[in-house]
Structure 1
Amino acid sequence: MSSDANSPSMPTVILDPEVTFVAREIGGRTTYVSHHEATGKFFQLGPEEYRVASLLDGVRGVPELFEALRSEGIEWSTEDLAKFIAQLVKANVAVIKQGSAAATDTPLAASAAACDNAASEDTERATNPPAANDPLAAATGPSPEPTPPGSLATLLRFLPLLISQRFPLFRGDRIATWLTRFLGFAFEPIGISVWMLLVFSGLCVVYGHSDAFAAELRRMFDPGLWPVLFLIWVVAKLIHEAGHAVAAKHHGVRVGQVGIMFFLLAPLAYVDVTDAWKLRRRFYRVQIALGGVYFELAVAAVAAWAWWFLPEGYAKHITAQFFLISGPATLLVNANPLLRLDGYYVLSDLTEIPNLRMHGRRQLGTALQWLLFGIPQTRQLLSGWRVWFASIHAACSVIFQVFWMGGLVLGVAMWARGLGILLAVAGVLMWFLIPSARWVWKIWMLEPGERFGLNFYRRRMLFYASLLIALFQQLGTVSSPFDRRVPVVVRFQDEQIARSPSDAFVESLFVHRGQHVEQGVLLMRLKDPELRIRREKKADDLEIAELQVIQFRRQGELSKAAAYLENANALRRQIAEMDEQIAQLTVIANRSGYIVGNHVESLPGRFVSAGQELLRVSDPQEKELLAVVPEQDVDAYQLASRSESLSQVRLRGGLTIKAKPASLRPRAYRTLMHPALAGSVGGPLAVEPAMDGSGEMRLTQPYLESITKLDPITSAEVRSGQLGSMTIRDNRPVLARVYDAIATDFRRLGRSQ
């Protein structure tokens, strides 16, 4: 501690003179916001860190700084001091003045090496996102540990470039100034009032037509509309960035670079409004952070009103899609506080927790290390309720981003094929495998090895690794404790559906709705005079053809006789079909049951088209369950059908019954077994238009079916057409179940391409 400050082996550090400090009260604590003019970065320092920075005059070395701090009652260790100074040097805020080449063994040099890529603590904070709407910042966690030397280090250095590339285009201050002349009033009290009225009225329009907008939402997944949706999305994002720029310029903040970045191949605009953290008023900073969402919601409300006024057509559909992208979509992504986008920075300002994500994940990580390895927790940088709030936010954001980024990786892998798989591998490496490996290496190297090269931390880590291996082994062999659900629908047993055999008039009706009839009872008569006339004409043609056959045979013209004979046979078949249609004009009950139909009493005298349903004959006490089983669930269903136990069937409406699964029919179908099962009408099965152009819907994948007859008591409790699901035991291991779920998602994505 007595080394000469001017010794060539002891470096000294000087703070860049372009760094300015402004005191600010945040969360009841005095902090200092510093601005580095050269780099445009902002930093959040505590009182002790600020005092250390102010002592960096290029004369004092680490020992002298340590003594000066002790004399002022600041209890820092030399290691903490050297690490803090190294972080300032890394951020280009301070520079090593002398002795840097020879100082390889000093605390400062050692800490600089250790902090080369370490996560910054309260030392550095770009207190606003460097570019609004930066999804890379939302996806990345703390900075990684030092990378290994050699080719692997080079690979890891360029790995983020596969995920995100940023291209500045121009400085946006001049354009922001011009836009503010026309749109700056939106951030004044009158403009805010108009915005609230506009957005509220747009919500009322959407709420009043929720079913129509729900249908428009389903159309977003139509691949044929994706080019148009992409253009809408580009326009919406330009409006979003204009909102940030206008809000910043309205409050006197300089607007920096405007550019485009590509995140997982998706183009995103960005605008640099970092200087917003010069503002003391928290409300102004919140306005700038929400400026993009603010503008998009206003445009979404205008789109909702345009949708209401426009007639049916393509323009009406486009305005609905504009509302969905600028409204719900931007709220889900940009206003989401669990992603490091606009909503996150607003939450950070409102709670007065600078670097909310860094604090929360640091506390979460140290708590995990203490729980697993007993590593002492570091000094808390927050106090009071902000400690647990930051930790809860960190836990929620980690869970959300695992599913969020996992979905993005799967989507890109399927959409971009080969390149997408490469990007997916890069994302998994950068966001999971490499940080996990570095964390394991950090714990492994905490202390030197003892017996057999192991110490307490290494033994504990091997123990947890053994537990994970045993867990995966169990998950790969033990049957899943979860159940499978098979779609079912209730229908009548052997229901007779009477349809019109041709275009005809209902001449007589002999029954009424709800009447019980026996088999063989006459139900109604239809009249089709044109059919009888066509039948008589065909009969005349047949008689002429038979006479021609006889005539040509007598004349010895056998070829002509054979032709007329073939024509006569065709006429006989047509007459037989017409006779069958005429016979069907008299509708007779094929079974005993009750007459069912919506408009049975109004049928007499009405004209009905060929194939139109007239009435049904069924028995409410004779119903059955139609179960449709996908191919991946066939084995499990067959095991359930061979079992003696009953399966639980949960029907929509809250009714639960028990039923014995019947055996599967040996043939798989892609035709729709029951209209209520179609996903287009709210059913559980995905459908698509049939390839024959008939307009009928068919299933997107083959299904097998089974029919389970219900007892009379259960039949009386359920309704025909009621949907539900049958629960059967899952015969797959847990890992196989997860794999099948992922593979199913991949197949669905593949079909949507």
Structure 2
Amino acid sequence: MSSDANSPSMPTVILDPEVTFVAREIGGHTSYMSHHEATGKFFQLGPEEYRVASLLDGVRDVPELFETLRSEGIEWSTEELAKFIAQLIKANLAVIKHGPPRCDASSLAAATTSSEIEDRASHWLEVPEPISDADTPPQSPPPLGAFATLLRYLPLMISQRIPLVRGDRIATVLERYLGRAFDASGIAVWMLLVASSLCLVYGHADSFASELRQMFDPALWPILLLVWIVAKLIHEAGHAIAAKHHGVRVGQVGIMFFLLAPLAYVDVTDAWKLRRRFQRVQIALGGVYFELAVASLAAWAWWFLPDGYSKHLAAQIFLIAGPATLLVNANPLLRLDGYYVLSDLTEIPNLRMHGRRQLGAWLQNIFFGIPQPRPWLVGWRVWFASLHAGCSIVFQMVWMGGLVLGVAMWARGLGILLAIAGVLMWFVIPTIRWTWKIWMLHPAERFGLNHYRRRLLFFASLLVCVFQQLGTVSSPFDRRVAVVVRFQDEQVARSPSDAFVESVFVQRSQFVEQGTLLMRLSDPELRIKRDQKADDLEIAELQSIQFRRQGELAKSAAYRENANALRRQVAELDHQISQLTVVALRSGYVLGSNVDSLPGRFVPAGYELLRVSDPHEMELLAVVAEHDVDAYEQVHKRGDSSRVRLRGGQTIHAKPASLRSRAYRTVMHPALAATAGGPLAVEPALDGSGEMRLVQPYLESVTKLDPITSTEVRAGQLGTMTIRDNRPLLSRIYNAVRTDFEKLGRS
């Protein structure tokens, strides 16, 4: 640690005079919250770190600082001291007063990564360099050239923060009128309002569920966008009012664009100055607090408003300000309001930083044998922070991955650029930096490798093999095909025209043989119409004969064509008249809810009169999407028996039948449509008939059930048939994600 007279002077580091410290008891231990007035940032330091920071007076050089710490019993290694000083300089809490030419402030500022800063800081402390070959050139991070300049603009492509006004004066005015909402009386009123609205929503859960399904109605998009903007403004106002209520200065108010989505923000960072944990939690939850109040008022408005547009809009306001804000803002796995509340409740400031640092060190120790640094947390907070880090990483991978895919599919060209920027910033660049850090952790040995590099290559090769297997080997999971139970060859008798039910010869649940007379209808107008057409036919035939005898062959041919058309109409009317007498076309039981009340009633054309079916003869109607056809055909060819799980928990087994060669977009069974609670998405038909059709074409197959199984199921039961998946696992995941986003896009 000593230097001779010919060596350059050692640097001294001075703490920025604008940094202030406040002692605070956190988790039974004394910590120090440092506040940098110029940047408005807060940092947490332990007692030892605070002591090191307090010694940075610009007089002691680094070796003297190290000796002072040792004399006070702080057993820090030179590497630990170097890293901590480098972190202070990187955070602009300390600056270099003077130093050797090879390590001045400008060279330190040119460092692009924390590892470079630590390396240069360790050089001030003369940490011995590992022994290496003399001919080995000094190693440095891989050159990026112009690409490094491009990387600096990646965060600007993902998010842009535009400050608009200083919010302290606005918050003062708002607090004057709404500040009492954070008093005990205001909290009591809020709890009563939210609890009553929850009871209201719970009692009408089905109605709100139907409102949720209509949330993506394109006709409501403009007004919903306005509602969402107003809700977010109310959210940020809640933070500002809560902060001002507790005497905290409110900073800038502005707008931030994250993946093109506009978001309001307000700076209440000074809330860290508050000693009472309840006050900090109240400020963090101020936005959710106000939004839930708005959602509760919207729920009650939905209850009182009459059916119509206003009632539907009130329900959408409830969904946006209530469940949506709880899912996003109150989620502790995202670095939003819920995260800061959890950080305060557990007394772990910088929870994500601590957790990810510990989790990363633990994984590096397991896979590479890198010694773990001294933990900054103690007790149960160590594993809690690590657990939170693991859960948040998994959630954010799914969350951010979904956002990237959604933006890429929605915004097309610009969205693809944003998706590439997001993948680079959140995955590619951190992975490259971490890999380079592991690669340069120790000097090269034989063949340019060392212990860490060999392990890194091994795990990289293993990862490539795993992805290769996931991309080629069939998925171990199953596919599910929608099915519905129905009667085999069921006869559905409908009225052929507008008619009166003259007589009914059977009763409900009566067993009838094929050919049994079931019902007779009466339609005098139909018979009159038939007789008129028959008279017109006779006249046309006579005129055709007359003109032929007179030699006027053109007129004769015209009347003959007219006679042929009338003959077809008479035949069709005769068929309708014959259908007025309803006969059983098969043996079975008579079904129908109104059979006994039909005599004497008027029924319109197409009205269902009754059904004839046998409950011992059931079949499964399976609807197969185009991307599942190959897997279904393979199961059918093998003759495997598939498991069918019906709603209600009932399970049966059946062999899939062959697919019919034609794909349909008509709804094969009314129970399958999403509008009736089924699994298939539907949309209005293009012909304007008002009927619904399937969003995408499906093929169908019909599997007959044996008599014993038929008696165990009910007609109309929905379920899923399980078939083996023939796709690679990666292909399955990609198709599932793409399908979900296509459904969202259609919505």
Name the amino acid aligned to 2:562. N
Q: Which of residues 194, 202, 205 in structure 2 aligns to 1:207?
A: 202
CA deviations 1:109-151 (Å, max 9, x no partner) are: 9987778546999xxxxxxxxxxxxxxxxxxxxxxx9895521
Shift of 1:642: 1.3
Q: CA RMSD in A?
A: 2.3
CA distance in 1, matches of 2:89, 2:233: 37
Name the amino acid aligned to 1:308. W
CA deviations 1:17-44 (Å, max 9, x no partner) are: 2222211111111111122222222221
CA deviations 1:322-378 (Å, max 9, x no partner) are: 100000000000000000000000000000011111111111101100110111111
Partner of 2:383: 388
Is residue 96–residue 105 contact of structure 2 (8 Å, CA) maintained in 1?
A: no
Q: Which of residues 571, 588, 603 in structure 2 aligns to 1:608?
A: 603
Q: Classify the secondary structure of the residue corresponding to 1:161.
A: helix
Matches for 1:151-550 after TM superposition, within 5 Å = 151-550=146-545
User: Cα distance 1:233–1:148, how it changes in 2: closer, same or farther (>3 A)?
Assistant: farther
Partner of 2:21: 21
Q: Which of residues 608, 628, 631 in structure 2 aligns to 1:633?
A: 628
Name the amino acid aligned to 1:201. S
Q: Classify the secondary structure of the residue corresponding to 1:383.
A: coil
CA distance in 2, matches of 1:196, 1:178: 25
CA distance in 1, matches of 2:241, 2:622: 58
User: Cα distance 1:37–1:747, how it changes in 2: closer, same or farther (>3 A)?
Assistant: closer
1:578 equivalent in alignment to 2:561: no
User: Cα distance 1:609–1:87, how it changes in 2: closer, same or farther (>3 A)?
Assistant: same
Shift of 1:568: 2.9
Name the amino acid aligned to 2:164. L
Name the amino acid aligned to 1:707. V
Partner of 1:617: 612
Name the amino acid aligned to 2:348. I
Percent identity of paired positions between Structure 1 and Structure 2: 79
User: Cα distance 1:385–1:232, how it changes in 2: closer, same or farther (>3 A)?
Assistant: same
CA distance in 2, matches of 1:653, 1:512: 31
Shift of 1:284: 0.6
Is residue 289–residue 342 contact of structure 1 (8 Å, CA) maintained in 2?
A: yes
CA distance in 2, matches of 1:331, 1:687: 30
Partner of 1:704: 699
Shift of 1:476: 2.6
Name the amino acid aligned to 1:84. F
Is residue 86–residue 108 contact of structure 1 (8 Å, CA) maintained in 2?
A: no
User: Cα distance 1:115–1:64, how it changes in 2: closer, same or farther (>3 A)?
Assistant: farther
CA distance in 2, matches of 1:53, 1:4: 27
CA distance in 2, matches of 1:551, 1:559: 12
Shift of 1:90: 2.2
1:68 equivalent in alignment to 2:63: no
CA deviations 1:378-402 (Å, max 9, x no partner) are: 1011111111111111111111111
Name the amino acid aligned to 1:243. G
CA distance in 2, matches of 1:60, 1:732: 67
Q: Which of residues 717, 721, 735 in structure 2 aligns to 1:722?
A: 717
Partner of 2:137: none
CA distance in 1, matches of 2:116, 2:186: 41
Q: Classify the secondary structure of the residue corresponding to 2:687.
A: coil
CA distance in 2, matches of 1:303, 1:202: 9
Shift of 1:716: 0.6
Partner of 2:675: 680
CA distance in 2, matches of 1:357, 1:178: 35
CA distance in 1, matches of 2:302, 2:347: 41
Shift of 1:91: 2.1
Partner of 1:32: 32
1:667 equivalent in alignment to 2:690: no
Shift of 1:10: 2.1
Partner of 1:47: 47
CA deviations 1:90-120 (Å, max 9, x no partner) are: 2222222223xxx255699998777854699
Shift of 1:558: 4.2
Q: Classify the secondary structure of the residue corresponding to 1:59.
A: strand
Partner of 1:645: 640
1:59 equivalent in alignment to 2:59: yes
CA deviations 1:652-702 (Å, max 9, x no partner) are: 111111111111111111111111111221111111111111111111111
Partner of 1:593: 588
CA distance in 2, matches of 1:648, 1:20: 68
Q: Classify the secondary structure of the residue corresponding to 1:17.
A: coil
Is residue 86–residue 111 contact of structure 1 (8 Å, CA) maintained in 2?
A: no
Is residue 259–residue 418 contact of structure 2 (8 Å, CA) maintained in 1?
A: yes
CA distance in 2, matches of 1:641, 1:107: 75
User: Cα distance 1:446–1:118, how it changes in 2: closer, same or farther (>3 A)?
Assistant: closer
Q: Classify the secondary structure of the residue corresponding to 2:57.
A: coil
Name the amino acid aligned to 2:323. P
Partner of 1:11: 11
User: Cα distance 1:118–1:529, how it changes in 2: closer, same or farther (>3 A)?
Assistant: farther
Is residue 519–residue 582 contact of structure 2 (8 Å, CA) maintained in 1?
A: yes
Shift of 1:622: 0.6
CA distance in 2, matches of 1:119, 1:311: 67
Is residue 87–residue 114 contact of structure 2 (8 Å, CA) maintained in 1?
A: no
Is residue 504–residue 528 contact of structure 1 (8 Å, CA) maintained in 2?
A: yes
Shift of 1:214: 0.7
Name the amino acid aligned to 2:595. V
CA distance in 1, matches of 2:318, 2:575: 56
Q: Classify the secondary structure of the residue corresponding to 2:736.
A: helix
Partner of 1:83: 83
Name the amino acid aligned to 1:614. L
Shift of 1:561: 3.9
CA distance in 2, matches of 1:681, 1:707: 21
Unmatched runs of 5 consecutive residues or more in structure 1: 122-144
Q: Classify the secondary structure of the residue corresponding to 2:153.
A: helix
Is residue 111–residue 117 contact of structure 2 (8 Å, CA) maintained in 1?
A: no
TM-score normalised by the chain length of structure 1: 0.93
Unmatched runs of 5 consecutive residues or more in structure 2: 119-139
Partner of 1:131: none
CA deviations 1:624-654 (Å, max 9, x no partner) are: 1111111111111111111133111111111
